[in-house]
Structure 1
Amino acid sequence: MQNIPVELQLHIAGFLDVETVLSLRKTCTSLSQFTRSRSLWLCLIYRMSHILPRPPSESEIATLSALQLERLLKTAMHVEQVWLLPRKNTFLVKERCDSDDIEDSIPRIRYLAFVSDHYLLSLGSEGKINLWKINNVFAPFAAEIFVTYASSTWYPCAYHLNTAGSVLAIALTHVELVAARILTISLNTSSSSESISPLLVTRGEFSIFPPQVIRAIDADLELALLSNTALSFEVVNWRTKAQATVALRANDPGDLWNGITAMRICGPYILVFRMHTVEAYPLPSHISSGVGERSDILPQLTFRFPHTMTYRRVSLTKTTCVDNNESQTYGLSALANDLFHGIFLFYVELVVRPSPSLSVSPLGVRPMAIASPQFIAAQLPEDLPPSLTPPVPFGTLHDTRSFVSACALGDYGRRGIWVARSRTSMIRTVVAFTNPRDVSNASREAQVWSNGSLQANVDSERPRLIDCQVVHDIPLQDDITVCAVSDTTGRMAVGSWTGSITIL
C-alpha cells in the first residue's frame, strides 16, 4: 500500500463507503494516517453529497478541518439511516399547561422551530418565548434552557434568523394590536455550551394601524410584513419607521377569500403565499436600501394553482439564491395542506433576471381525506384520446380519509413530517418522508405549473406519490397543533394544544 501513489490511493478509497474507511483505520499505522487525511474526506463528501441536507459551499469546505469533514459526513449518514425508523425514545421538553388564564380556543404554542440545528424555539400565545439549546445527534438527548421570556401584554408572532445565523429576531405585537416590538438574541452556533443565558434586546418598535397581523420579518433588511385582509399588506422598516401599503391582486371575486398563509422576502420581491395562488410583488424601493437600486420597473407576478385547491397551511424552507452576471434566481420548497385533498410538496422558483418569472414545480403528493387527486401520469392509459382526458392535471386515488393537524419541512427541504389522524383510529400518527428528488434541480426536471396549466418536458420525471413512514404514535387526547423538523440532525418536535413539547 505504501508503494501506491497517494493520488491512486485516494481514487481507490473514493469508491469505499464510510464504514469500510473506518475499518481500514484499525488495520495499521499507515492506513490510520491515510484515513484521517483531509483529501480523503473531501473526496467522500463530494461523492456522497446526495445524503447531505445541504451540500457545503466551497468557502465553507475551505474552513473545515479533516475531523470536521469526517463528523459532517458521519452525522449525515447516521441521520439518513435512522430517519424513517420508529421513534421509540421521546424527550419531554415542556410539560402541558393546565391553567385557565386564556381561552380554550387559543393554542398555547403558536410556532415551533429548530434554529441553526442547535436550538429549539417555541413562541406561545400567552406571551412566552422559550429557546432551548440542543446537544449533538450522537449524545443522549438533553435540552438546556437558553432563553426564556414572558409578557402579559406582548405576544410573539414571527421570527427570522439572519443570513449569518448569528442573530435571531422575534416580533411581538401588543395585546391590543396597536404596536409591534422587535427583539433580537445573539446565538452561538458552536458546540460549546453557554454559561449565562443572554437577554433579549429590543431593536425597534412601530405602531400598527389599523390592527394587523405580522406575517413575516427579515432580520437582515429589518423589515416586517403585516396584513389583516385579502386586499393589501404593509411593509414596515422597524429601524427607520418607513412603511408602504401594497395592494393585493384581485382578478376575480374568489380572491376576496384568498387569504395570506405565508410571506417571504426574496431579493427585490416579496413572495406571498395565498390559499389559491402564489404571488410576487416588487419590494417598495424606499423601504430598504439592502436590495440595491434598480433602473427597470419589476412587474407583479402571479401563479394560480391549476385545480380547486385551498391551501390553508404551508411550511417553507430557507430561500436559496443564484446570483451572477447573467441571472438572479430565488428558490424554496413548500409543503402545503389542503383539508380535503391532502399533502402537496412544491418547489417555487422566482427569476428576477434576465426576465422576471414565477413558476411552481409539483414534487409529490400524498392524498388524504376524500377521494383525492393524484397526478394524471400514474392513472391514465397512454393511448387515452385527448377528448377523454380530464381538464385538470389529476386523476383520482383511493380514499384514505385522514386529517392533517400539523406539517413542517426542514430548513433545506430534504425532510419533512406531518401529523395525521384517520377517522377510524384512536391515535395520531407522526409521518416522516424524504424529499423525492433534489429540489435544486426541480425547475429543470419536474413538470412546471404556470398560468393555470401543467406543462411537462418530454424527458422529465413526473411528480410522484410521497413515500412516507409512520414513525410515532400519539394518543388522541394530545391535540398536536404545531411541529418542526431539523434536516441536519433528523430530530422532530411536536407541540400540543395544551402547551407540551416533545422531541422525537
Structure 2
Amino acid sequence: MEMVIDDIPPVLRLPTEVLLLIATLLDVEEVLTLRQTCTTWFKATNSRSLWISLFHRQQAYLPTPPGLGLEEPSHLQDVPTQTLERSVRSSNRIAYLWPRLRTSELVKLSRVHLGVTMMGMQLFLERWLLVVYSEGAIYVFDTKSTESEGAASGGVLRARVDLQGGLWSSYVASLDSSGEKIVVAIARSVPPYWTRVYEISLGFLGRTSGLFLDSAFELVQTITLPSPQTVRAIETTQQLVALYASRGVELVHWGERRNADQERMLLPAPPSDLEDLWNGIIAVQFMGPYILIFKTRSVELQHYAPILDPNHFVLPTLKQYVSYNFRDVTFSRCKESRSSTDDQLFSMTVFANDVIQGLYQIHIKLTIPHLNLSDVISEPLAAPPVLPSLDLAITDIYPLTMLNVHPTLRHGPLTPTPSFSLPQIPGASHVNGTGSMDIARGFLSAYAVGPQGTRAIWIERKRASTIREIQVWGLARAEDHESVAAGYERKVVYSVTSYDLRDDVICCTFGESSGIIILGNRSGDVSILALG
C-alpha cells in the first residue's frame, strides 16, 4: 500500500478546488485530453463550475448559442451541466472550422418562383431563414428540418406569402422580445403607398414540423401613406416602425388596436448646415430611448421618447462626423447593460462600407448617466444634470486603397453640440491589424455582421475576373496582455467561378453560432454553404 501512495503524482494529491483552478487555465482541447488521463482528472473535469467558467470565457469572443441566457447570466443556473459542456465543445469546434476552407458544395434551396429581384434575407435563431423579394414574395425556410427533404436540400420551405399588386421597395424584420415571432414591415413604392406589417409565428411552425403553412403569416397592420417612403427600422416592444422620406424620419405605431394613419410622429430635424447637403440618411436603428440615424458622413442619435410622451424629459441630440463616405451599413443587435456606477449602457457593432476606402467595423456605445433616470421620477420636465455621451471606435477591416492607414480610430466621448468641421483625432493608431499592404483587388457585392457582432462575412468580386470569393472575419481570443478580444485577419473560405452575371451574390446572411453561410444571387436563387 505504501508503494501505491508513493506512485501517485504530487499534483493529484492537491485539493479538488486547486485542480479545478488549474483546469480553468487550460483550453477546451487540453481539458478534454486531461480528462482521459485518470479517474481524478475525469471527476474534476466533469465539474459544473469548470464548464461555467469556460462558457463565460468563450462569451468574450465567441457567439452564444440561442437559448443559453445570453442577456441574463443567471439563466445558466437552470442549464444542465451536460448541455453547458456540449455547448462549449461545439462552440470550440465551430471556432476552429469557421476561418478554414469549406469542402462542401453550395446547396440550392427549392422554391416557387414568385419573386426574382431579391431585397434581402435574414437568419433568425440559427434556424429560420427569411427571404424577401421586391415582387412581394416572402419566404420562410427551416434550415434545420429533420425531414428527409430538409436533410437532403439543406432547408425546407415552411411558409410563404404573396403580396402581389406592384413593386415593393424596402423591408425590415426583427425578432420580438419573446423570440416566438418574426415581425416584418414591407413598403410599397407605387400607388397606393402601403406599408404592411406581418407577424410570423415561429412557435406555430416549430410545433408543426415538415408542414407547409401559409397561415403562419398574420397581417397586423396596413399603413397608408400619402407618398412613397422607405421603411428603415422596427421596434417590437413599443410597436414602432421608422419610415424615411424627404421630410425626415417618421415613427408610426403598428399595434393591432391602433390607427396607424393617425399615429404618425415626425422626429424633429436638427438645425441644417452645409454638411447636410451631402450627408444623406442610409440607415436607421432603435437604440434604447434613442434612435440611431446613420448618415453618409455622420452618426446621429435622437431621443424619441418625448414625441411619444410630451411629459417625458428631453435628452440632447448627439451627433458626430466621420472622415468617410459610407454607402450602406449592417447592424448587430443592440446590447443593454449597466456600469459599476449604474449608468445605462447601450452598444452595438456596425459594419459600414465606403466604396473607395473599404469596409469598417464601428463599435457604437451610448452612455446615459444614472442621474438622468432618477430625475424622471422626481422632476419629469427638468433638464438632466449630466448629459449622455456617445463613443465611436472605428476599425479598418477590409482596406481597398493604399490611402487607408488608420485601422483604429476612436471618437469620443462626444458632447451633444454638433460641429461643422471634421474632428481631428490625436494619437490615432497607425498599425494595421489586418495588414494595410494586403489591399483588396475587387469590390464587395454583399456583406453581413452577426446579431452578436462577433463574426461577419462578405463576398468580393475580383476585378477583371469571374471569381467570387466568400471571406469571413471574427473576433479572436484576447491575449494575456490585452483587455478585450480583437479581430483576426479575414480568410477566404470558398470561391465560385462563373461567367454568368446572374450568379453574382447580392444578398447574404449566416449563422453566427452554427457557421452556415447563406447566399442570394441576382437570379433570385438561395444557396446554403455548410460548415466544414
Q: Shared fold by TM > 0.5? A: yes
Structure 1 residue 366 and structure 2 residue 398: aligned?
Answer: yes
1:378-402 CA distance string (max 9 Å, x none): 9xxxxxxxxxx99996989556442
Match of 2:183 among 150, 169, 180: 169
Query: More displaced, 390-399 or 205-214?
Result: 390-399
C-alpha distance after superposition, 1:464-496 (max 9, x if no partner) = 997211111123431111111222112211111
Write the letter of the residue equivalent to 2:290. Y
Q: What SS does structure 1 have at the residue aligned with 2:118?
A: coil
Secondary structure at 2:52 match in 1: helix
Q: Which residue of 2 aligns with 1:122?
A: 131
Which residue in 2 is equivalent to 1:243? 264
TM-score, normalising length from structure 2?
A: 0.76
C-alpha distance in 2, partners of 1:48/1:245? 43
Which of the numbers 310, 331, 339 marks the counterpart of 2:355? 339
| Structure 1 position 490 matched with structure 2 position 490 | no
Partner SS state of residue 49, structure 2:
helix
Deviations 1:26-51 (A, max 9, x none): 56777656544423322332344434
Distance 1:19 1:190 in 2: 37
Does 1:227 pair with 2:227? no
| In 1, Cα distance between equivalents of 2:300 and 2:346 | 14
1:146-166, Cα deviation, whole Å (9 max, x unpaired)? 322222137471111123322
Map of 1:455 onto structure 2: none
CA distance in 1, matches of 2:477, 2:331: 17
For residue 340 of structure 1, report the CA deviation from its aligned partner.
1.1
Equivalent position of 1:261 in the other structure:
282
Counterparts of residues 5-404 of structure 1 (less than 5 Å):
5-23=15-33, 35-54=45-64, 56=70, 57-94=72-109, 108-135=117-144, 142-153=154-165, 155=168, 157-174=171-188, 175-176=190-191, 178-188=193-203, 194-196=209-211, 197=213, 199-229=216-246, 231-239=247-255, 240=258, 241=260, 242-249=263-270, 251-287=272-308, 295-305=312-322, 307=323, 309-323=324-338, 326-353=342-369, 354-368=386-400, 370-375=401-406, 400-404=440-444
- Counterparts of 1:418-497 in structure 2 under 5 Å? 418-435=458-475, 467-476=489-498, 477=500, 478-497=503-522
CA separation of 1:124/1:194 partners in 2, compared to 1, >3 Å: closer, same or farther?
same
Q: 1:416 aligns with which of 448, 453, 456?
A: 456
Give the drift of 1:429: 0.8
| Aligned-partner Cα distance in 1 for 2:335–2:227 | 34
Alpha-carbon distance between aligned partners in 2 of 1:487 and 1:189, rounded to the nearest angstrom: 24
Q: CA 1:294/1:164 → structure 2, altered by over 3 Å: closer, same or farther? A: farther
Separation of aligned partners in 1, 2:76 and 2:20: 18
Could you say if the C-alpha distance between residues 437 and 244 of structure 1 is closer, same or farther in structure 2, counting changes exceeding 3 Å?
A: farther
Separation in 1, partners of 2:527, 2:427: 41
Deviation at 1:245, TM superposition (A): 1.0
Aligned equivalents of 1:31 and 1:465: distance in 2?
Answer: 34
CA RMSD across the alignment: 3.7
C-alpha contact 1:180 1:207 (8 A) present in aligned 2 = yes
The one-letter code matched in structure 1 to 2:63 is: P
Looking at structure 2, the residues matched to 206 and 310 of structure 1 have their Cα atoms a distance apart, in angstroms, of 33
SS of aligned partner of 1:298: coil
> 1:188 deviation in Å?
4.1
C-alpha change, 1:146 and 1:250, in structure 2 (3 Å) is: farther
Q: 1:47 to 1:228 in 2, by over 3 A?
A: closer
Does structure 1 retain, via aligned residues, the 8 Å contact 2:171–2:231? yes
Give the letter aligned to residue 276 of structure 2.
D
Question: Does the CA contact (< 8 Å) of 1:342 and 1:372 recur in 2?
Answer: no
Amino acid at match of 1:344: Y
Q: CA deviation at 1:436?
A: 6.1
Secondary structure of 2:100 counterpart: coil
Q: Which amino acid aligns with 2:396?
A: G
Which has the larger displacement, 174-183 or 409-418?
174-183
Which consecutive unaligned segments of at least 5 residues does structure 2 have? 1-7, 370-385, 410-423
Change (3 A) 1:303 1:390: closer
Deviates more, 1:38-47 or 1:481-490: 38-47
Q: Is the 8 A contact 1:340 1:372 kept in 2?
A: no
Q: What is the match of residue 382 of structure 1?
A: none
- Shift in Å at residue 437 of structure 1? 7.9
Q: Give the residue type in structure 1 aligned to 2:390.
A: L
The alignment partner of 1:40 has SS state of helix
The Cα offsets for residues 407-464 of structure 1, whole Å up to 9 and x where unpaired, read as 11011111111111221322111111113688xxx9x98xxxxxxxxxxxxxxx9xx9
Q: Deviations over 1:111-156 (max 9, x none)?
A: 111111122221111211112222399x988312232222213747
Alpha-carbon deviation of 1:91? 3.9
Relative to the length of structure 1, the TM-score reads 0.80
Report the CA distance between 1:317 and its aligned residue: 0.3
**2-structure distance, mates of 1:269, 1:348:** 13
Q: Which of the pair is proportionally richer in helix?
A: 2
Query: Cα deviations across residues 240-265 of structure 1 (Å, max 9, x unaligned)?
Result: 32211124446433423322221111
Q: Please say if residues 14 and 47 of structure 1, whose CA atoms lie closer than 8 Å, have aligned partners that are also in contact.
A: no
Amino acid at match of 2:460: A
- What is the CA–CA distance in structure 1 between the aligned matches of 2:495 and 2:175, rounded to whole Å? 31
Q: Retained in 1: the 8 A contact 2:171–2:185?
A: yes
> Does 399-408 or 29-38 show the bigger shift?
29-38
